[in-house]
Amino acid sequence: MVANSSFKQELLLREYGINVQNIVKYILTVPDKADRTRLAHLLVNLMAKLNPSMREIQDSQQKFWNHLYVMSDAKLDVDSPFPLSAMEYLNEKPQRMELPTQVPSYKHYGKNVEHLIQRAVLLENPQERENAIISIGKLMKTLYKTYNRDNITDEIILNNLRELSKGKLDMDLAYVEANNLFDSNVKAGGSGNYSNQQNNQQNMQRKKQNQNQNQNQRRKQ
């Protein structure tokens, strides 16, 4: 079949460059078929090097030969390892793109947050589930602030979390607000653990202060 689309030939010319097109024209002028075949094999190898990504495609060699046939305007007469067809490439249709069919309940959270919530629901360990709620709450609050200019409260986050988890993930609002659990500067791990860490740090600071005071008193004595 004859390639009757100059537009497609221009696309191929851009893909392989003007030098490849000139080599194709030269091969067409070679009188001996064996010589033309040898040069065509060399040119196909060159085309593969110019487009390394195509070598990973199935039947890439056949595609290279068909591209060569198109660039010759279907006039190439060689002993090809494959049946040459210009129209196979010219009529090639792009693969159908699969579009997502599931729309997230809240666009600002997205489907990934819903997937995280589904996984958190499956957690049986209470501490792990609490940590998951805190981490997801932080993420939801950050995403909400990025998407909306309105002020977001922990109550809204908890309500959305209950809704998306169908009531399976919940936490006391006062408990969350008192410990700022959904703020990004607070580490996940439960407010009890966080309070213990704060108390430990304060105790360490007091010990250091007492030690420094004792050292100063000894020096004065």
Model confidence at 194, pLDDT cuts 50, 70, 90, reads very low
Task: Report the C-alpha gap between 204 and 198 in whole angstroms.
Answer: 10
N-terminal to C-terminal alpha carbon distance within the chain: 107
In terms of Cβ atoms closer than 10 Å to its own Cβ (0-12, 13-18, 19+), residue 145 is middle
SS3 state of residue 183? coil
Amino acid residing at 195 = S
The pLDDT value recorded for residue 174 is 92
The pLDDT value recorded for residue 99 is 66
Model confidence at 3, pLDDT cuts 50, 70, 90, reads very low
pTM as predicted: 0.43
Average pLDDT value for residue range 16-22: 86
The owner of tokens 């209950």 is 162
The pLDDT value recorded for residue 150 is 73
The pLDDT value recorded for residue 117 is 93
Query: Which of 46-55, 109-118, 183-192 shows the lowest per-residue confidence on average (mean pLDDT)?
Result: 183-192
The pLDDT value recorded for residue 9 is 61
* Phi-psi category of residue 83: left, alpha or beta, with phi > 0 → left and psi -120 to 50 → alpha: beta
The pLDDT value recorded for residue 90 is 55
In this predicted structure, the answer to whether residue 209 has a pLDDT above a threshold of 70 is: no
In this predicted structure, the answer to whether residue 188 has a pLDDT above a threshold of 50 is: no
Span 97-107, pLDDT tens digits: 676 667 778 88
Average pLDDT value for residue range 173-190: 76
DSSP secondary structure string for all residues of 21-63: HHHHHHHHH---HHHHHHHHHHHHHHHHHH-GGGGGSTTHHHH
Span 118-168, pLDDT tens digits: 999 999 999 999 999 999 999 999 888 887 777 889 999 999 999 999 999
Task: Report the C-alpha gap between 16 and 173 in whole angstroms.
Answer: 64
Span 30-84, pLDDT tens digits: 999 999 999 999 999 998 888 888 777 778 888 888 888 888 888 889 998 988 8
**Does the CA dihedral 71-72-78-84 come out positive or negative?**
positive
The owner of tokens 């221009």 is 10
SS3 state of residue 195? helix
Model confidence at 198, pLDDT cuts 50, 70, 90, reads very low
The owner of tokens 């693969």 is 95
- Report the helix count and the strand count for the chain, using DSSP H and E: 10, 0
The pLDDT value recorded for residue 10 is 61
Task: Report the C-alpha gap between 142 and 130 in whole angstroms.
Answer: 18
Under 8 Å between Cβ of 188 and 134: yes
